[in-house]
Amino acid sequence: MAVLLRQGSMNVLGIDACGKQGWVGVRLIDGAYGGSLVDVDLGTLVARAPECETVAVDMPLGLLETGWRAADTEARAYLGLRRSSVFLTAPRAVWSETDYASASARCVSINGKGLSRQAWGLAPKLIAAQKCWAEEPGRIHEVHPEVSFQAMAGGTSLTHSKKTWRGQATRRALLAAQGVHLGDDLGEADSVPTDDVLDAAAAAWSAHRIATGAATCMPATPERDTEGRPVSIWY
């Protein structure tokens, strides 16, 4: 689907990881759906959208040296029924390990608790997102789609998983109520699983809020990594 970019318009991009396809991006132009991008490489996808002043990625960005991130624990508390969708992000050193057993043992040595296999499965994409974040400070922000969807719902927990028919219908309706209408023809994202497209669209909604100054973050006073960058989830 070809998209005409208007001069002077506000362009933002929301991105979600989507398995073997890599990454899916949803662009919003002045808050409305403006096309999709899919690429196996996150850096390439971001580079394909130079007009997007704000980029929101569903992936942990800020890492601590020890302890669990307050952003994750607050997000889990906020989500209630959907709390399991937020993984606790291990300290920075854990992600330098090359296999799950070593990473989990390293996590135990630092935090007193091991790392889940699901969380370790994020490692390649977490590292890719870290690289992009470091290269474009101020442009790329961390978000979590379930937090964004619950914010759209006025803070009420969504009762059905994004993997279910009803859950997907609910999330699509929440986006539409915010002016983000996802049509039947999504262009590049047509072959991407529905839940990943919805997550990318929710990330884009948060990106628009960040760009307009309407967003907030968890925690309200972010922790900082060793480079002084905020460790927070925006929505």
* Mean pLDDT to the nearest integer, 11-18: 98
Q: What is the pLDDT of residues 112-140, one digit of tens each?
A: 999 999 999 999 999 999 999 999 989 99
Rounded to the nearest integer, the mean pLDDT of the chain is 95
What pLDDT is recorded for position 147?
98
Domains of the chain: 11-62+137-153+166-220 (3.30.420)
> CA-CA distance, 176 to 193, in Å (whole number)?
19
What pLDDT is recorded for position 2?
45
Angle between helices 145-152 and 194-212 (to 10 degrees): 70
Instruction: Output the CA–CA distances (angstroms, integers) from residue 100 to 27, 52, 65, 192, in the order listed.
Output: 35, 36, 19, 28
Residue 6 predicted with pLDDT over 60: no
Q: What is the pLDDT of residues 149-184, one digit of tens each?
A: 999 999 999 999 999 999 999 999 999 999 999 999
